[in-house]
Each structure stands twice: as C-alpha cells, then as structure tokens.
Structure 1
Amino acid sequence: MNKKQCLALEHNKPFIIENIDGKRLLDLMVEKNIFSTDDDEEIREAGTRKLTAEKFYDKLLKSKHGDAYTTFKTALNQNGDTYIVKELEKIEQKYAKVPDENLPDPRRAGVHAGGNSVYVSGHGNTVIAGGQHVTVNNTFRR
C-alpha cells in the first residue's frame, strides 16, 4: 500500500470501522491473498461487528500486499458499500497532486472526524464536542 492509500484509510478510520462488516469483505481478501486463512479465522472470531471491523482494519493497514487497498475498494463495491469508497476517494483526490515526500505521515497522532464520531489519538487529550465543532486540548500532567 502506498502512502496516499494509507492516508485515505487513516483519515477515514472511524468511518470505516463504523460502516464495514468485515466478515462480508473477507472472501475476496482471502481469494486475492491479501489476508491469509489464519487472518480470516482471526477476524471471523473477533466477536461483535465492531470488533470484527477493527480487526479487519488493522490487518488491512498492516498488509504488505501491493493490491490490498485496491482489493478492499473492490470488495466494498461488490458488497454495495460504494459510499465508503467515495469517502476514500475524496482523500485520494485531496492528495493526488502532492508528491509523496510532501505528504503528512499517515500514522501521526491527530484528530480524524468521520460520520458522527471523532477519533483522537495520542496521550492526554481532552475532547469537547458540540454540534459540528470539536475542540481538542492536550492535557499536561506533571
């Protein structure tokens, strides 16, 4: 997966996890050797839909297969989840003309908003959400 594809996934992490059914996407991912049969079993046994989606997302992001992202989008389209593909493509378009060396680190700490949720990474963050506005403050402890 290239850096732009990782950015699209990271930017949309909460939205992806909220909206995918990892079990429905597995067959194509295993068929195309993106995920192993062990990965398939681990994802299917994760439990709830959300835990399954989180496990699927983690495996996808860690995949070394060059076609992982494209196959993921194909699986989404085949399952009727085109609205997720559209969100991913918005980020792809945003960074389309930016040279890779000028792209932000896709795994940096930060805030990602998607759908009705906010994901804040990093330690000691305080989130105040109200309406369409979100304020994030670092809380420092001594």
Structure 2
Amino acid sequence: MELTAGSHAPAFSMPATAGRTVSLEGFKGKPFVLYFYPKADTPGCTKEACAFQEALPQLGHIGIEVVGVSKDKMPALEKFAAKYNLTFPLASDEAGTVVEAFGAWVEKSMYGKKYMGIDRSTFLIDKTGTIAQVWRNVKVPGHAKAVMDAVAALA
C-alpha cells in the first residue's frame, strides 16, 4: 500500500547516532521529519544532510525534529555524523524493514541495469503519527527549504 498524506505512519524503532534510539512511539505528541537517503557520505546524501542540519535551528524553533534513515551500519553513520557535525539522529535500518514499510525500497536503473535501492524520500509526520506530506524521488537542491515551508504550514 502506498503511503500518502493522511496515512498513519508505520511503527518503527531503530538505533541512531550518538547512542540514541528513534521510534514512532518516541515521537508521540511531536511532529517530525523522517527522510530516507541511499548512502552516507556520498555527494547527494551529504548535501541533503547538511541542508537539514542548516535548517535545524528554524525547525527546532517550531518544535520539529529531523531523522535521517539509511541501510548503512552504525559505524558508517557515526563517522558521517562526526565528519559533517550532524547533530540530528541518523538511524540505521540495516534489515531494510523501515525503508520497505515506508515504500522507499524501489527498483532503480542506472546505465540500463536494474537494481533495488533507496528512493530519496521525505515524510512529514504530525504529532498524532499521521503523515502530513510525502516527497518522493527527491532532488536535493531546495528540498530542505520545501520541507521547512510545509512544516511552517503545519505548525
């Protein structure tokens, strides 16, 4: 089933950087941004993470937290977070269950070869755990600003 605005967010719990655990239950009563990205420390993913880091003060001011999710192992995520001073949680979904639950595990194609990978997607989830907005096939430039605009409308 395709998740859309108005769908209830699937339950999740994942280990995250700085010894944290992130879960849908843990965000109960607080709106948050959950974004999926293919691989830590690659050019597009780095730009996206840094853009969200830059937006954190404004998002935090209106009570919105950000969580990045990939299938990377924790050591790679810790290294990525440290390298770019990313203070928001980067969660590890090694098994891919959360990525799949949110419909971000998709068939991709590069140079004519088909393979499975993470679709760069972002979900704005309201304080009741309902998806307020979905962005699929995200293009990094301007994306954090689009998310901030949507968050401002939600707040």
* Superposition TM-score, scaled by structure 1 size: 0.27
Going by fraction, where is strand more abundant, 1 or 2? 2
Going by fraction, where is helix more abundant, 1 or 2? 1
* Superposition TM-score, scaled by structure 2 size: 0.26
